[in-house]
Structure 1
Amino acid sequence: MRGLKIAGTVLALGLATPCTAQSYHDLVDASDGFNGVALVGTGKQVRFVEGIGRADAANGVPMLASTRFETGSVSKWVASIVILKLVDQGRLDLDAPITRYLPDYRADTGARLTLRRLMSHSSGVPNDIQAARKDPATRGIEMEQMAAVRRYASGDLAFAPGTEWDYSHSNWLIAKAVAERISGKPYAALVEQLLVRPLGLKDSGVYRGDSGAVRGMAQGYAALVPEPVRKPNPVPDFMAMAGGFYTSAPDLLVLMNAVLDGRFLSPASRKALTTTLMPDQHYALGGRVRIEKIGGRDREAAWEDGSNGGFRMLARRVLADGHTVIVLTNASYDYQKLGDLGTALLDASYAGGEAR
């Protein structure tokens, strides 16, 4: 089935009949060049999960369901959950000026900035860190968090907070400084304390530098044929909220189930996480919520995408009923193919019945 268009494969499977594990496999197999892990779930139930290809081509390591992947910008969604846990503990306020927590931040703009605006990319803080990282020499440089904030996240506002939208990684340097200052813990320790241990996550955490050194991690590639070519993009610790989270497909399902079914966060925090603040961008806090045609009807879904180096991923979860698709790849997989595969798998999960 290699090389077939996904849409044609969905029709061939027949959406009126229950999707089996073989049906999901055929959809993945039809997505030409796929190398990664795909998962389909409903609530806590894993209906299908499969690793295809190589996690580490140089050493012949096969792709497993438990293989770990960089999540790229889905790290921002995870960071939002961490901050909302601190809000639930009464330690942070989404709408307080950040100078309440960082009195050493520049006073004029700091009095106008809030975590809600930082986490929704509607703050006006210019994306100075992204501009700096275009120089490869800067990518591996580490520095203390507030030093990074002063250098890359303290410029004059590009617009008044709340009036426009700009996808600025620099927002997350400030958010990380706030979380670490108020908790007295490094961000990686906060993730371990607030997410990993309480949820029993087995393959998740925060890395720094080149993720290839993390045990069980897939290696990121520019291409696998004719020869494997690695494509690392090191993430310094000061950018951990913007792109330093790693996970496996089963772990991400556990996290999404816990957060989006309303139990792990307070009702107010869950609502904040899933309420779009910038409707034209479908952007809430750290990620998107979209109403799309799924399984033949309009459904509201958490709509998460991430990339870094050779890693590409998506996670979709319908908020009303927990139908979930997670696709993780590590060889610079085509974005259009990735999106088509995610859509096909999510549509197929509504074909009727339970996976066999």
Structure 2
Amino acid sequence: MRVATPPSHTKGHPVNRRQCIALAGAAALGRVVPVSAAGPAARYEAALAACTGFNGTVAVGQGARIRFSTAVGFADPQAATPMAVDTRFEAGSVSKWIAAMVVLKLVDDGKLALDEPIARYLPDYRADTGGRITLRHLMSHSSGVPNDIVAARKADPQVGLVPLEQMEAVRRFASGDLRFAPGSAWDYSHSNWLIVKAIVERASGKRYRDCVAAWLLEPLQLRDSGIFSGESSDVPGMAVAYAGLAPPFQRKVTAVPDYLAMAGGFYSSAPDMVRLMDGVLGGGILGPASRAALVRVIMPDQHYALGGRTRIETIAGKAREAAWEDGANGGFRLVARRVLADGASVVVFNNGSHDHRTLGLLASALMEAAYG
């Protein structure tokens, strides 16, 4: 483990963007690290060093194998708790990608179908829209269901602290009139995932968190991942999120009620995320058709597939198709990338509200370094 004290910074964005951008440009030209003779680890260390002030964990993988991982700074800077490679972080909206994996497992088992009207699975949902919306619409944010849950939380922050049975949450926050015809447009609506969770729990006969544990965590032996509700600080080994990483410390927390678990309730560590991506995209968790469906783009303008994005980017001088996942909740940030053809992957976690562009540049530099 590599531990560093947080540097001075302003407004919660301590990473040196100019250095990150310069590093990414050099990487594209094959000049990532001037000490490449020292071996692969030196290339990854140089990528991190170029982004001064990074506080978090990273892991670089090839398939399920962790090629490089390290921890920098503090899991809780106010308490001076050192960061560790297996420190846990909220995954933010990457939780939606995890939820899509669970849905596709039920598709493999013949219990759900992506293109059936959801009225088949939730006959107590409003009949007019339930007969038009499908799971594929919901998971690609093309359903037209308005984002009423976010509007409600903005109007009253206490909404997220009130426990609700899943179908009651659906009735309150995911039953509004459609904003557009299903499949005709894209709107990033958390309310979609309230409906998906109700369908999964009804079709499986299990709590969603138990589905994640049984179908993903246990077979892949992921010991630092799971579903939380409320504030994640109750999870052992969890990092603490802040608006910035220097005094005066300001916690940046957004509670996640259980009914929103699919939208933002997953947590993990950097090595676990590498193994999870490999187990699902390269392993036997899902059948071939479901693996393909998970990453097949449905809304091209957004690069959006089911619960996440797939992009073709130039990596190490070659156009490569990659799962392209970003997540945030409160002060937590996650950037995860996996090249679909060969399984090269990078995961970056942060608990200090770094902007995603900066973390994306770091992830790109690490991925360039992975190709040497």
Give your verdict on TM over 0.5.
Answer: yes
Structure 1 SS opposite 2:313: strand
Which residue pairs with 1:330 in the alignment? 351
Note the C-alpha offset of 1:335.
Answer: 2.1
Which residue pairs with 1:96 in the alignment? 116
Which residue pairs with 1:30 in the alignment? 50
Is residue 188 of structure 1 aligned with residue 209 of structure 2? yes
> TM-score, with normalisation over the residues of structure 1?
0.95
Note the C-alpha offset of 1:14.
Answer: 4.5
Is residue 5 of structure 1 aligned with residue 19 of structure 2? yes
1:43 is matched by which residue type in structure 2? G
Structure 2 residues without counterparts, runs of 5 or longer:
1-6, 8-14
Deviates more, 1:42-51 or 1:299-308: 42-51
Note the C-alpha offset of 1:20.
Answer: 2.0
Is residue 203 of structure 1 aligned with residue 224 of structure 2? yes
Say if 1:123 and 1:160, in contact at 8 Å, map to a contact too: yes
Note the C-alpha offset of 1:40.
Answer: 1.0
Write out aligned runs for 1:278-317 (5 A).
278-317=299-338
Structure 2 SS opposite 1:203: coil
Note the C-alpha offset of 1:31.
Answer: 1.1
Per-residue CA deviations over 1:95-152 (Å, capped at 9, x if unaligned) read 1111111110000000001111100001111111111111322221221100110011
Structure 2 SS opposite 1:307: strand
Structure 1 SS opposite 2:371: coil
Say if 1:19 and 1:348, in contact at 8 Å, map to a contact too: no
Structure 2 SS opposite 1:58: coil
Say if 2:92 and 2:327, in contact at 8 Å, map to a contact too: yes
Equivalent of 2:174, from 145, 153, 164?
A: 153
Write out aligned runs for 1:44-59 (5 A).
44-59=64-79
The count of aligned residue pairs is 351
Percent identity between matched residues is 58
Note the C-alpha offset of 1:189.
Answer: 1.1
Structure 2 SS opposite 1:38: strand
Say if 1:80 and 1:286, in contact at 8 Å, map to a contact too: yes
Separation of aligned partners in 1, 2:183 and 2:32: 47
Say if 2:228 and 2:235, in contact at 8 Å, map to a contact too: yes
Note the C-alpha offset of 1:16.
Answer: 7.6
Note the C-alpha offset of 1:227.
Answer: 3.1
Structure 1 residues without counterparts, runs of 5 or longer:
352-356
Q: CA RMSD in A?
A: 1.7
Note the C-alpha offset of 1:263.
Answer: 2.3
Write out aligned runs for 1:1-356 (5 A).
3=16, 5-9=19-23, 10=27, 11=31, 13-14=33-34, 20-134=40-154, 135-351=156-372
Separation of aligned partners in 1, 2:88 and 2:367: 22
Separation of aligned partners in 1, 2:100 and 2:37: 38
Structure 1 SS opposite 2:224: coil
Which residue pairs with 2:12 in the alignment? none
Structure 1 SS opposite 2:319: strand
Per-residue CA deviations over 1:58-89 (Å, capped at 9, x if unaligned) read 33221111000000000000000011111111
Which residue pairs with 2:3 in the alignment? none
